[in-house]
Amino acid sequence: MPKKDAARTSVLSKDWADTWFTFPILYFSDAIFTGTFPQPRADFVRKTKNFIDHVKRTLLRFHDKGLTIKEFDLIVNNFELHRMSKDVDLWLKLVSESGLEVLDLCLPDGPHQDEEGLGECYVLPKGVIEGKSLTKLVLMGGIRIDPAFMNHSVKFFSLRVLSLWAVVSGYEKAIEHLISC
């Protein structure tokens, strides 16, 4: 539910706040935090930290309370991926352990990526494919499918929708393997 609608509805009751903070569909976009450009570097760095902290706090709250996360949408277009890859790793670990059904991950193309997709990319962690409840996986941008996926024994048993946009395969048969899962 969009935050604007939630804000309107939150006036109705205090109980709504509990519902809002435990709603199992999570959407995070760095554009909401960054605002418009150009802006002073210090402001941008502060907003980056605020975004990372907000996502982490939200996911830890769900994890600590044992709440299910049915859908996780993450859009990062304005931040430098290499500075937050460890954060994205943690976020994906937390959501993968929370009964995740839908993962929509949109990351920027790496600034040093060449035509073959070599260069800076986010390597999708193996934990994502270990999620037995994952039914839809959407990957966009500078994401690399690591060859280690080919040796991993766990497959996407529940996956029904796989969408790949500008994703880099580190192994010729990686996409075929993903499709066959």
Burial (CB count <10 Å: 0-12, 13-18, 19+), residue 123: middle
SS3 content of the chain, % helix, strand, coil (to 5): 40, 20, 40
pLDDT digits (tens, 9 = 90+) for 69-107: 999 999 998 777 777 889 999 999 999 999 999 999 999
Look up the pTM and report it: 0.79
What pLDDT is stored for residue 79 in this prediction? 76
Residue length, the chain? 181
Q: Is 81:122 a contact under the CB 8 Å cutoff?
A: yes
Confidence at residue 4, expressed as pLDDT on a 0 to 100 scale: 62
CA distance 134 to 70: 9
Q: Is 139 helix (H, G, I), strand (E, B) or coil?
A: strand
Residues of the chain with pLDDT under 50: 117
